[in-house]
Amino acid sequence: MKHARVAYAGAVHDASEQGGRVRLADGRVLAEEEVVWLPPVSLGTVIAVGLNYIDHAKELAFSKLTEPLVFLKSASAVSGHRTQTRRPTAATYMHYECELVVVIGRTARRVARADAYDYVAGYCVANDYVIRDYLENYYRPNLRAKNRDGCTLLGPWMVEAADVPDPMNCVLRTFVNGRMTQEGCTRDMIFGIAFLIEYLSAFMTLSAGDVILTGTPEGVVNVNVGDEVVTEIEGIGRLTSYIVDDESFAVVG
């Protein structure tokens, strides 16, 4: 089953998918453009994994990691499907990152790798934009590069874990203005989902609503004002955003 959270008629609603449309918990059925899409779960900690595909690490001229490169994001960084995403006027290189998101379903502490999937509620799609002008180095992702307001999209749906038979064999694709620019598969992760849950839960407690962004494959390209960017993962969903300038985003500075 697919779950979402949307705003409609001045209220926030839990929703599900019905024939390509959005069914609110009260039974009303709407087109996707009639609602404001929010992240599909009530978020806890947002955990991101960098350089988790060997082809992407090579693309950035970076050697293979021996353990995950992990960092956290604030709630203000996260937005939903069909969102406008700001490209600062001074930026020279801003790119998308199509990522599989793991949604934790219950408290996980010192979880064995063999049991890791028992703690997964479901999966969704992320588009984690990066402004590389502000990246200090690949060991320490700079806040200005990776934690900008509204630059991490999640959604549209959270698909229940039972409906994703093999999350480690899903194709990821990105389209810019309808042209495919990125394609990869989750089987090419350096550190897989079960490893990440075991690794993270060994030193921090994971709770229901925490999410793990698991990295992106090669194929990232610069995006510009006016571009429509769609990140998709087979069986999970298609997530759309629109690149706008400072003035359109009503942001100063």
Amino acid code (one letter) for 59: E
| Domain match, 128 and 172 both | yes
What total number of domains does the chain contain?
Answer: 2
Cα→Cα distances 50→5, 80, 210, Å: 27, 21, 17
| Domain match, 111 and 24 both | no
User: Can you tell me the mean pLDDT for 116-142?
Assistant: 86
Three-state DSSP at 128 gives strand
| Domain match, 28 and 49 both | no
β strands within 198-236, DSSP E: 211-213, 228-233
> Which residue is it, tokens 């960098």?
50
Q: Which domain holds residue 208?
A: 39-249
- Paired with 186 in beta bridges are none
Q: What is the pTM of this model?
A: 0.93
What is the reported pLDDT for 250?
A: 63
pLDDT digits (tens, 9 = 90+) for 142-157: 788 889 999 999 999 9
Tell me, what CATH number does 18's domain have? 2.30.30.370
Token couple for 217: 């494959």
For the cut 80, the answer to whether the pLDDT of residue 41 exceeds it is: yes
Q: How confident is the model at residue 135 (pLDDT cuts 50, 70, 90)?
A: confident
| Domain match, 100 and 214 both | yes
